């Protein structure tokens, strides 16, 4: 699923989940379906010229709980480059997924969204400043 995410192969990404899987990203209340997750991730990565997990900064483990449930935990560092200004973002990520019969039936993902939000707000502010400069340049004195 991670390789398909990194390659933007959204149909294959969704195939790693059961049809009834519940996916929770940075919430414990509202879940998404595999299709909703794939669409959201595709939209969320569209503004990056590159994105993915650093290969040397992560760990994966599989555990079987006392109840016999199989979970896979992933800790990694996600890195992306904004297409508009080539700014690089580094964000630690934790994913934990429950598997039944080789499919993910439940997944929780946690990461700090403030780095991305700050970068997006800075891009918007720069665009507004540029637009204001263009407007000021187009208004001649005495107009």
* Residue 97, token pair as written in the block: 């997924």
pLDDT of 141 over the 90 cut: no
pLDDT of 110 over the 90 cut: yes
pLDDT at 125: 82
Residue 139 CA to residue 98 CA, distance in Å, equals 60
Run of H or E including 10? helix 10-14
Stretch 50-73: mean pLDDT? 96
* Residue 129, token pair as written in the block: 């400043």
Question: What burial letters (b/e) apply to 119-142, b meaning 16+ CB within 10 Å?
Answer: beeeeeeeeeeeeeeeeeeeeeee
Lowest mean pLDDT among 31-35, 45-49, 70-74, 131-135: 131-135
Percent of the chain with pLDDT over 90: 78
CA 95 to the chain's CA centroid = 11
Higher pLDDT, 127 or 64: 64
């Amino acid at each position: 699923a991670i390789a398909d995410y990194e390659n933007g192969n959204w149909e294959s990404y969704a195939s790693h989940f059961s049809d009834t899987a519940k996916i929770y990203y940075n919430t414990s209340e509202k879940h998404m379906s595999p299709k909703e997750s794939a669409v959201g991730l595709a939209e969320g990565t569209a503004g990056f010229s590159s994105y993915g997990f650093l290969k040397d900064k992560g760990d994966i483990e599989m555990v079987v709980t006392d109840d016999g449930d199989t979970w896979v935990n992933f800790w990694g560092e996600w890195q992306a480059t904004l297409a508009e200004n080539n700014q690089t973002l580094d964000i630690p990520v934790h994913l934990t997924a429950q598997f039944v019969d080789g499919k993910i039936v439940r997944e929780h993902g946690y990461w700090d969204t403030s780095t991305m939000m700050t970068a997006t707000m800075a891009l918007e502010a720069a665009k507004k400043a540029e637009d204001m400069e263009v407007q000021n340049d187009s208004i001649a004195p005495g107009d």
